[in-house]
Amino acid sequence: MSTTGILIALGLTIFAGLSTGIGGLIVLLFKKPNPKALSVSLGLSAGVMVYISFVELLSESNKQLVADYGTGTGGWLSLAAFFGGIFLIAIIDNLIPIQENPHEYSGSEGLDYSGLKGDQRLFRVGVFTALIIAIHNFPEGMATFISAIQDPSLGIAVAIAVAIHNVPEGISVAIPVYSATGSRMKALGWSIISGLGEPLGAVIAYLIIMPILSDALFGILYAVIAGIMVYISFDELLPTAREYGEHHLTIYGLIAGMIIMAVSLQLLM
């Protein structure tokens, strides 16, 4: 793997992770995000992730593992890795108490902290949310990095999808911090910090996984990444999108995301 390829993969992961800062900027510029726009964007991100997972990643995983281990063993390995990815991110998600989990949104009205300036408990909520998001984003960073290493065009698609879904996470950090302190810089700073788990995940992937990479390991990792993204889409993105806006807006965003991804991949072939 060339140095340029590694730097591109790392750059895509940094872009995806630090897009939480966009959420911070939205809060600072508009105070309260547009629920319908968030609903569509989250649905779009889910559409991209689901399409990539089933059409590209799982298919590529199966192909590489079958080539190495045969139809029977390779197919079962791909399925095991896919559901293993789902269980991995589910365990991480369930280790976080529901009341502290930034992914357990209660709709746009749940993000309204106006009139609570100076409340240090609220400030702690924002900081704790930032740290939890950073931990939760760790496997996403590994997924983005590994995808980009193997296929830069696929890595770009994954990075964009992750970046879109990181925006509301930045919002969930920035609103309580800004409301509690009145400081725009603190709100933006903590929203950016919350995205650092992704580039950290990329660095760990480079140090630990890169030295032992093989076609078979790529096949397993592709399936694991697919499982992670499917879980995030169904457990986080789609439910949150429906909370923010109308049901049909979420579906329109989901379909649009699939179409955009399908056309993009076809053009890159």
Residue 137 to residue 196: CA distance in whole angstroms:
8
Closest CA to 145 of 207, 79, 67: 207
Residue 230 to residue 264: CA distance in whole angstroms:
20
Which segments in the chain show pLDDT lower than 70? 1, 30-34, 96-126, 128-129, 132, 136, 244-245, 265, 267-269
Between the alpha carbon of residue 116 and those of residues 53, 131, 251, the distances in Å are: 42, 22, 35
- Tell me what pLDDT residue 111 has: 45
Its pTM surpasses 0.85: no
- Tell me what pLDDT residue 13 has: 92
Per-residue model confidence as pLDDT tens digits over 36-64: 777 777 787 788 788 888 988 898 889 98
Phi, psi (5° rounding) for residue 213? Answer: -65, 140
Between the alpha carbon of residue 260 and those of residues 188, 196, 202, 253, 265, the distances in Å are: 30, 28, 26, 10, 9
Residues 28/186, Cβ–Cβ less than 8 Å = no
- Tell me what pLDDT residue 5 has: 84
Other Cβ atoms within 10 Å of 259 Cβ, number = 14
Residue 114 to residue 116: CA distance in whole angstroms:
6
Per-residue model confidence as pLDDT tens digits over 146-189: 888 878 887 888 888 788 778 877 877 787 777 777 788 888 88
- Tell me what pLDDT residue 119 has: 55
Residue that is written with structure tokens 């930045």 in the block: 170
Residue that is written with structure tokens 């960073």 in the block: 141
Angle at 13 between CA 11 and CA 18, to 5 degrees: 95
- Tell me what pLDDT residue 113 has: 43
Residues 180/119, Cβ–Cβ less than 8 Å = yes
